[in-house]
Structure 1
């Protein structure tokens, strides 16, 4: 046994001898992902092919900035916004959905704005839902999205194109975007980065919509523990209303399960399951599966509950939506959500100390449906339709 271990250590030492620190970190990253990534089967990613493609490329890397760019390119193989580095460059692409302000889809080789993030650059600049986009930064779109498409396959899916398009239109940190729109046969130019959203926003917004309906919106704040007290105060204020609407359309950065359970706990009278978790134990060729529960807390709101979601409802926002649906406690209204995969875990590469996060657990609705496949019971196509549905509540 000791002899075998010694041989393995000699082999590993000889394998790494002569490698640059970037090659070592690339191999470490590949191995960490290979051992821990939870969605290879679902996404059908050929991870061995990825290693084959990128191994010769990493040999050309000579400095940290080039390595960051190299890693950012490789992360596109996952075509999902829940996989990212913990560092970036001025030239780096913005992360979706948190860095994204317009949702674009391909339709018969043309590209259309399907949704807008209200109050952000694209919306403020005058771009409209339904606009056809013809150029991005004066260049045709088809060639530009190729850099965001996975290289391990030539059969690109709708999800891959959607990811690539929205990465392109999110833009980079250092280049202001110019969007060319064809509207009713006329060409218009828009500059979303010239108009910035209001930076200081309260953790939540509340208002009374009518005599029977109150409204609570989270402003990308379900990762800030201070929001719990503010939310409790709002629910206490609206405890006798017929309806409460919880707006999760502006939660792209996700949050944490403590806040999620505190939110849901105000609307139930007994302990109930809200989400399923699943993780692989590859070493033993088995899986772990467990249920997460919500426990009642403080005074219960017993009226009607509505939850509105959208393309900027991400991660824990998605968890809250499927949780309320699984509890059969709320009607969920809106578009598909951000479809961010799983529960993430952080890792750090040894040589460069660059961190990254990947989903290591699969998440499901309590009925067994993958979280990323959830669709609201009252579906809409965009935020404008969602608002119309919301305003019907009486």
Structure 2
């Protein structure tokens, strides 16, 4: 099953702060049966296959009651896409999103900041993505975001919050807060930031063109430790490139695999890489999927040994909040195989394999969480914690080197 890679520039949510223009009020007669039929396909598919209803507080039938009349009254495909974005937003799931939202749609959460709610309804910055627009602007962990483009962040969160919760859920609030600080696609933003009590200042965050870097790079570190950076598991060529890098470190006493900026990809790429570190077929994960109103019994995913040699040295896998999807499954799997320690911070916590969905009539494409993933002890991937936790602001690479050099 393909694990869809999250977008390098952030997860496209496809929601807006309010219903897009061109949408008539609920209760008006349908203008185009295409939209309501596609809405029904979307709602029914997620009702039957989405895997996290047990974890959410989403009232899915209330979602249908609220949004179906709006879909029926949509005046354009753009307006309908905006409604679909709102429907998906009711699930507050970073792995469930439109594939190609509007150019000016709200970015998904975790674009370049990871924030947690403060008591005063502002956003406390816990992580900043390396090399991102926010990092370039000087935003640092420990600051609080008070407003975006002059508008209090609490107001933006109220507009972004799911409307169909059966009861309050702190996870939904945190999700909406992270959507709010991400701004809108293709647009700069200004953040009103507080570093210490009473010290507020406005920080312009510009749009930054993404820089294309190789999917695999390697270098030798001090003490003979090898380091392989893997930025994606979405291309089969990554396996060949990893093999070439590993050949250079065959006799290295320790190896670092860096997936800190890896948005995920496919098990068909990650699994052969794991196979370079074992000598027999071994389990690395467990999975489930929907079976009626509950999840099925788990099945076990395995890795087979591969390659001209097995690397037997000590291994550390580096992670941050921007290690996502299969870049969470890979460190989890390496740990489950008994072949690596996870060094860094918690990851993005997108815990399921995704299925694609293309609506039959409009062709609107999206993905949704379908098969939750668990480690070999049956612990959910979205609860995964590092073996060697690194505090915000500390050097993750140095922590890994210290770990590898320890007895």
Common fold: TM-score over 0.5 = yes
**Secondary structure of the residue that 1:159 maps to in structure 2?**
helix
Partner of 2:298: 289
| 8 Å Cα contact 1:120-1:196 kept in structure 2 | no
Runs of at least 5 residues in structure 1 that lack an aligned partner in the other structure: 1-15
Equivalent position to 2:159, from 134, 138, 147: 147
Q: Distance in 2 between matches of 1:27 and 1:280?
A: 19
**Which stretches in structure 2 are left out of the alignment for 5+ residues?**
1-28
Instruction: Work out which of the residue numbers 203, 210, 227 in structure 1 matches 2:215.
Output: 203
Do residues 326 (structure 1) and 336 (structure 2) align? yes
Match among 56, 67, 90 for residue 43 of structure 1: 56
Q: How do 1:342-361 and structure 2 match up within 5 A?
A: 342-361=352-371
CA-to-aligned-CA distance 1:340-394 (integer Å, 9 cap, x gap):
1311111121221112211221211111111111111222343635344234243
The verdict on how the C-alpha distance between 1:116 and 1:373 changes in structure 2, with shifts beyond 3 A counting, is same
**Residue 246 of structure 2: which of 212, 218, 235 is its match?**
235
SS of alignment partner, residue 311 of structure 1: coil
| Farther-moved stretch of structure 1 (67-76 vs 85-94) | 85-94
Matched, 1:271 2:299: no
With normalisation by structure 1, the TM-score equals: 0.89
Equivalent in the alignment of 2:316: 306
Q: C-alpha distance in 2, partners of 1:226/1:274? A: 22
CA–CA distance in structure 1, aligned partners of residues 297 and 32 of structure 2 = 37
Out of 167, 176, 180, the residue aligned to residue 164 of structure 1 is 176
**8 Å contact from structure 2 (residues 31, 72) kept in 1:** no
SS of the residue aligned with 1:241?
coil
Which of 112, 118, 130 pairs up with 1:101?
A: 112
State the distance in 1 between where 2:57 and 2:115 align.
24
Q: Map Cα deviations across residues 95-120 of structure 1 (whole Å, 9 max, x no partner).
A: 344xx111111122232211111111
**Structure 2 residue 41 is matched with structure 1 residue 33:** no
SS at structure 1 position matched to 2:300: strand
> Which structure dedicates a bigger proportion of its chain to helix?
1
Shift, 1:61, TM fit: 1.3
TM-score (norm 2): 0.86
Whether the 8 Å contact between 1:307 and 1:332 is mirrored in structure 2 is: yes
Q: Distance in 1 between matches of 2:295 and 2:253?
A: 47
What is the deviation of 1:321? 1.3
For the 8 Å contact 1:318–1:337, the answer to whether it is kept is yes
Determine the structure 1 residue equivalent to 2:34: 21
The answer on whether the counterparts of 2:261 and 2:322 sit within 8 Å (CA) in structure 1 is yes
Equivalent in the alignment of 2:394:
384
Partner of 1:364 in structure 2? 374
Cα distance, 1:288 vs. partner? 5.2
1:205 Cα deviation after fit: 2.4
The structure with the larger Rg is 1
The aligned residue for residue 25 of structure 2 is none
User: How far apart, in 2, do the equivalents of 1:381 and 1:350 lie?
Assistant: 47
Determine helix, strand or coil for the equivalent of 1:297.
coil
Query: Take 2:176 and 2:397, find their aligned partners in 1: how far apart are those partners?
Result: 28
Cα deviation, 1:78-135, whole Å, max 9, x if unaligned, reads 11111111221112122344xx111111122232211111111111111111112111
8 Å CA contact 1:247–1:307 kept in 2: the answer is: yes
